[in-house]
Amino acid sequence: MTLRPTAGRVEVLPRQFPTNRGGLCQKGWTAAELLDHPDRLTTPLVRDRPGAELRPATWPEALDRVVTGIRRIQAGHGRDAVAVFGGGGLTNEKAYALGKFARVALGTRNIDYNGRFCMSSAAAAGIRAFGIDRGLPFPLADLGTADTLLLVGANVAETMPPLVRYLIEQRERGGTLIVIDPRATATARQATLHLQPTPGTDLAVANALLHVALAEGWVDKRYVDARTAGFEPVRRVAASYWPARVEQLSGVPVADLEAAARALGTADRAIILTARGAEQHAKGVDTVTAFINLALALGLPGRPGSGYGCLTGQGNGQGGREHGQKADQLPGYRRIDDPAARAHVAGVWGVRPEELPGPGISAYELLTALGTPDGPKALLVFGSNPVVSAPRANQVESRLRDLDLLIVADFVRSETAAIADVVLPTAQWAEEDGTMTNLEGRVLRRRALRPPPPGVRTDLAVLAELAGRLGEQGGSAGGVGDGGPAERGAAPGTGPVPGPRFPTDPGVVFEELRRASAGGIADYAGISWERIDAEDGVFWPCPTEDGAGTPRLFADRFSTPDGRARFLPVEHRAVAEEVCPDYPVYLTTGRVLAQYQSGAQTRRIAPLHRAAPGAFLELHPDLAARLGVQDGDEVFVTSRRGEMRAPARITPTIRPDTVFAPFHWAGPARINSVTSDALDPVSRMPEFKVCAVRVEKA
């Protein structure tokens, strides 16, 4: 998109760009409305004592409260008693600075971010199989040329509208689109074939597709021999997923399983994509692995116009997971428990490797540890609204309230900011420079179009100020652009970066990020802002300034030590919470077109509110009849954890054993009061997509 400042106002205009081809969803069109919205925070807020209202404060007073509180808590309970929670909407520069701030300025191991709720299962499965986690290992435009495209748990028509153009192109070329979703979504309605499984059974479906491919001789044996390892145990597992058995498990008819397998197995170019519907499960990593196994058996990854990919979510869903916001991660997608990685990053940060903390705990585990006797006593939140978006949110909210000190940096009074002790008003997207990395691994510029309003500071300036007051040599009071000597174009290497340790100029931060990432999986060393401008984005890994970026991965080898992709046998297992007489219906959750995430940024925008004014519960006419519920009736949805209230929306597009609610609303309409907090054992991703509930007329 292009953003045009007109007399102090910013308008959003679609631009011809290779990724979105001029498409832009309504959320994009209205994003500018939040810049000058009356709800915009323009002064810090503090709470004087528990129970008191938030009141306006000056920056020095608010920052003093933060620093005094952190010092007191760390003196009494140790450095890990202060925790940080980040977000996948932060620019690369901010995500990097936040991770460094936690490890260097706070010295805490406790940092994680909302991407744990979003991308973590696909990321873990990708690393396991390919040795690398990049959403798409090929350019997005490949989708348009696929003979067969399989979307698993992705409602792109509502969640990624710019991508729909490729689906249209694919169909116009005579391609087959297969959608797997328990609901006949706007996306599924465009499909050639819609498989409608019970939530949480995708793994079995994937194994059945592989079973059929094996039986029909569609497995690419040459590819399997030359490019992969570990097929034999996967073949043995798939043998026991005959379609009739999987029809029993998933509800998907044998004929549909066979038709889907045929479309994939006989295509020249086939692409398999997963999104949150497949991933947000207590077996999300294994489910993604099952689809990767299928893709590898068919010889897709690395073949032109073919492959497996995962659709990322948030604005910087890809970049946000590369630069050290994760509990177990250092910049460049390095592991924090790898001695070589620690030595490299410590060198760039000018600290000794042994000063860097070890791995912390994952997002949900961190949120539930807050305020407990051994858990953190303070939390700084940058770019998330967990009161609405975390699973089992009623418990998370009470943990947040138990903290001695909750600090939230945001530009609106989100539900999490509303219960904070200190709220710091920060700049929005149009008010600061930076980079984002899209699902293709393409690093893109985001440009400041106007300065932040008076009273507002950038996240980088806030971090620099806090680090300075906590005793680091960070930048001074900090508006934008006072971050010390720009080093653009300097060859990245190791060794501490000259200038302030926490610069506020995003260009300077990016130069440091390049050095910190050099030699890592997500290697940005050869990427400069100038190159991004000149090349319409640069694909990582890009280790050298004179070498090209990498739009396509896996053409000759995978990123594993021996260059082969790894098969891993995975078995179907029950969802964490099965239906029972007290809770007889499956609940699944997700999104609607006109609202974004926790709703903090979109519920306030009038046209979006008109388009999607509140939560609802989608249920099948048969289920509604059994419950005596009419369309529009208020219903209660109750699980073992809590309840939610919303009007019923009766529709034949959903399975009769399943109900659906969007998670964009707060208060009594908060579906995350109900959702399950079962976690995937590998990724620690919560099972947002299925739990057992009871539905009653209110």
Ligand X SMILES: Nc1nc2c(c(=O)[nH]1)N[C@H]1C(S)=C(S)[C@@H](COP(=O)(O)OP(=O)(O)OC[C@H]3O[C@@H](n4cnc5c(=O)[nH]c(N)nc54)[C@H](O)[C@@H]3O)O[C@H]1N2
Which residues would be at the binding site for Mo ion (CB under 5 A)? 118, 313
Among 44, 89, 144, 175, indicate the residue that binds ligand X (CB under 6 A): 89
Among 435, 672, 676, 683, indicate the residue that binds ligand X (CB under 6 A): 672
Number of helices and strands (H, E) in the chain?
23, 27
513 close to 92: Cβ distance less than 8 angstroms: yes
Q: How far is CA 460 from the centre of its chain?
A: 21
Residues 496-525 that bind ligand X (CB under 6 A): none
Among 190, 688, 692, 693, indicate the residue that binds ligand X (CB under 6 A): 688
When CB distances are held under 5 to 8 angstroms depending on the partner's kind, the choice from Mo ion, ligand X, none that residue 199 binds is ligand X
- Kindly state the smallest distance separating residue 293's Cβ from ligand X, in Å: 16
Nearer to ligand X, 306 or 458 (CB): 458
Give Cα separations from 687 to 433, 570, 641 (angstroms).
35, 18, 14
Q: For residue 229, count CB atoms less than 10 angstroms from its CB and return exposed for 0-12, middle for 13-18, buried for 19 or more.
A: middle
Confirm or reject binding of residue 183 to ligand X (CB under 6 A): yes
User: Which one of the spans 435-443, 476-484, 562-570, 597-605 is the region binding ligand X (CB under 6 A)?
Assistant: 597-605
The one-letter amino acid at 398: S
Q: For residue 495, count CB atoms less than 10 angstroms from its CB and return exposed for 0-12, middle for 13-18, buried for 19 or more.
A: exposed
When CB distances are held under 5 to 8 angstroms depending on the partner's kind, the choice from ligand X, Mo ion, none that residue 478 binds is none
Confirm or reject binding of residue 153 to ligand X (CB under 6 A): yes
- Name the packing angle between helices 459-469 and 59-77 (round to 10°): 50
Nearer to Mo ion, 299 or 313 (CB): 313
Confirm or reject binding of residue 663 to ligand X (CB under 6 A): yes
Confirm or reject binding of residue 250 to ligand X (CB under 6 A): no
Token pair, residue 55, equals: 């009141």
Among 152, 252, 396, 521, indicate the residue that binds ligand X (CB under 6 A): 152
Nearer to Mo ion, 215 or 593 (CB): 593
- Kindly state the smallest distance separating residue 317's Cβ from ligand X, in Å: 6
How many CB atoms neighbour CB 117 within 10 A?
A: 24
Q: What secondary structure does DSSP assign to 543-582, as a single string? A: --SSS---SS--SS--SSTTS-EE---------SS---SS
- Give the C-alpha separation, 373 to 377, whole Å: 9
User: Which one of the spans 99-107, 479-487, 582-590, 624-632 is the region binding ligand X (CB under 6 A)?
Assistant: 582-590
* Residues whose CB is less than 8 angstroms from the CB of residue 471 and which lie 6 or more positions away in sequence, other chains included: none
Confirm or reject binding of residue 425 to ligand X (CB under 6 A): no
Report helix, strand or coil for 628. Answer: coil
- Kindly state the smallest distance separating residue 374's Cβ from Mo ion, in Å: 30
Extended strands (E) in 232-377: 270-274, 307-310, 329-330, 334-335
429 close to 397: Cβ distance less than 8 angstroms: no
* Residues whose CB is less than 8 angstroms from the CB of residue 331 and which lie 6 or more positions away in sequence, other chains included: 96, 99, 100, 322, 323, 324, 345, 513, 516, 517, 520
Confirm or reject binding of residue 308 to ligand X (CB under 6 A): no
- Give the C-alpha separation, 384 to 388, whole Å: 9
Confirm or reject binding of residue 426 to ligand X (CB under 6 A): yes
Confirm or reject binding of residue 180 to ligand X (CB under 6 A): yes
Confirm or reject binding of residue 164 to ligand X (CB under 6 A): no
When CB distances are held under 5 to 8 angstroms depending on the partner's kind, the choice from Mo ion, ligand X, none that residue 468 binds is none
Confirm or reject binding of residue 597 to ligand X (CB under 6 A): yes
- Kindly state the smallest distance separating residue 207's Cβ from ligand X, in Å: 14
Nearer to ligand X, 291 or 529 (CB): 291
* Residues whose CB is less than 8 angstroms from the CB of residue 74 and which lie 6 or more positions away in sequence, other chains included: 81, 82, 106, 107
DSSP state letter for 104: I
Nearer to ligand X, 97 or 234 (CB): 97
Single out the residue of 564, 487, 560 nearest to residue 529, CA to CA: 487
Confirm or reject binding of residue 687 to ligand X (CB under 6 A): no
- Kindly state the smallest distance separating residue 117's Cβ from Mo ion, in Å: 7
- Write the binding mask 210 to 239 for ligand X: x where contact by CB under 6 A, - elsewhere: ------------------------------
Nearer to ligand X, 120 or 559 (CB): 120
- Kindly state the smallest distance separating residue 129's Cβ from Mo ion, in Å: 21
- Give the C-alpha separation, 368 to 358, whole Å: 20
- Kindly state the smallest distance separating residue 561's Cβ from ligand X, in Å: 31
- Give the C-alpha separation, 97 to 93, whole Å: 6
- Write the binding mask 90 to 129 for ligand X: x where contact by CB under 6 A, - elsewhere: x-----------------------x--xx-----------
466 close to 63: Cβ distance less than 8 angstroms: yes
DSSP state letter for 161: G
Peptide bond before 541: cis, by omega within 30 degrees of 0?
yes
Cα-Cα end-to-end distance for the chain: 44
- In sequence order, the β-bridge partners of residue 634 are 647
Confirm or reject binding of residue 412 to ligand X (CB under 6 A): yes
Confirm or reject binding of residue 181 to ligand X (CB under 6 A): yes
Confirm or reject binding of residue 289 to ligand X (CB under 6 A): no
Could you tell me how many residues make up the chain?
Answer: 698
494 close to 347: Cβ distance less than 8 angstroms: yes
User: Which one of the spans 302-310, 327-335, 590-598, 638-646 is the region binding ligand X (CB under 6 A)?
Assistant: 590-598
- Kindly state the smallest distance separating residue 279's Cβ from ligand X, in Å: 8
The one-letter amino acid at 386: P
Among 129, 140, 366, 409, indicate the residue that binds ligand X (CB under 6 A): 409
Confirm or reject binding of residue 325 to ligand X (CB under 6 A): no
When CB distances are held under 5 to 8 angstroms depending on the partner's kind, the choice from ligand X, Mo ion, none that residue 601 binds is ligand X
Q: Which residues bind ligand X (CB under 6 A)?
A: 27, 87-90, 114, 117-118, 152-156, 158-160, 180-183, 185, 199-200, 202, 275-278, 280, 313-314, 382-386, 388-389, 409-412, 414, 426, 459, 588-591, 593, 595-598, 600-601, 660, 663, 671-672, 675, 688-690
